Amino acid sequence: MFPVELTFHGDLPRFLRPALRGTSPVRRELAEKTAVKDVIEACGIPHVEVDLIAVTDAAGTAVQALDLTFPVQTPLALAIFPVPAPSELLPSAPRLQPRAGERFIADGHLGALARHLRLLGLDTAYERDADDPRLLDIMTAENRVLLTRDRRLLMRSVVRQGYCPRSDEPEEQAREVLRRFGLLDTSQRLSAWSRCLLCNGLLGSVSKPEVAADLAAEPRTLLYYDEFYRCADCGRIYWHGSHSAKLDARVARIRAEIPA
């Protein structure tokens, strides 16, 4: 048996198993060589939430960065940092989590978040009844970032990029995703109203005569509005009517509260 001490920084302690909460550093006794990823996840921390793993000396100074596959086989003191890890800490060491992410898949409990991201123009897959294998299959096949509050799902080794929303409120969850994946950088502008809120398909402009038959039961819509959009996948028709004012305000709030 040999000891490993882990100090979790930032908001990582929120993920700790109940028996470990309020304990710092967390002390583990290992009986055999174990990948540092497994040591960390045994404490309840998903690997996709860890940006830097640093070996510390007796004074608590970070002296070496480890990757997730590093085999722990001797006593160690480790400092574990969330995304983004402090830039001044071991600045030459590569970080473990990519900053970029443009395509997402949300689990069945995050439907409102999926709609918010689609409203902002972000490619977000969502199936309300998808089970874990289905989510992971889509994630892998389409190279998507997994969004879920299921920590055990985020710990699957097949998950390369993922995020656990902290807030319970969908608008704030959307802001979290934008911050985490740098989606308001000048190189990546959002394109609101470019995706179908129902199926994630791309919207294309169509003329009023093209939608007249589909909207025959809504003559006032055809009378008062001239710009229409149709989803290329499911055919749903959109227009900037009174119902869109609340959605426009939502987009404005999300974008205004995060500096570009």
Distances (CA, A) of 146 to 12, 40, 97, 142, 155: 18, 20, 13, 11, 11
Give yes or no for a contact between 42 and 80, defined as CB atoms under 8 angstroms apart: no
CA dist 131 → 137, 153, 245 (Å): 10, 11, 35
pLDDT exceeds 90 at position 182: no
- Could you read off the pLDDT of 129-157 as tens digits, one per residue? 999 999 999 999 999 999 999 999 999 99
Q: How is residue 195 written in tokens?
A: 């995706």
pLDDT at 186: 42
Query: pLDDT per residue over 65-122, tens digit each?
Result: 999 999 999 999 999 999 999 999 999 999 999 988 889 999 999 999 999 999 999 9
Whole-angstrom Cα distance, residue 217 to residue 46? 51
Q: What are phi and psi of 180, to 5 degrees?
A: -60, -40
Interatomic CA distance for residues 55 and 63, integer angstroms: 6
pTM: 0.92
Tokens of 161: 């990029």
Q: Supply the pLDDT for residue 258.
A: 60
Q: How far apart are the C-alpha atoms of 173 and 222, rounded to whole Å?
A: 36
pLDDT tens sequence across 196-231: 999 999 999 999 999 999 999 988 988 889 999 999
Query: Sorting pLDDT into bands at 50, 70 and 90, what band is 47?
Result: very high
* pLDDT value of residue 102: 87
For the chain, list the domains and their CATH numbers: 2-81 (3.10.20.30), 98-190 (3.40.50)
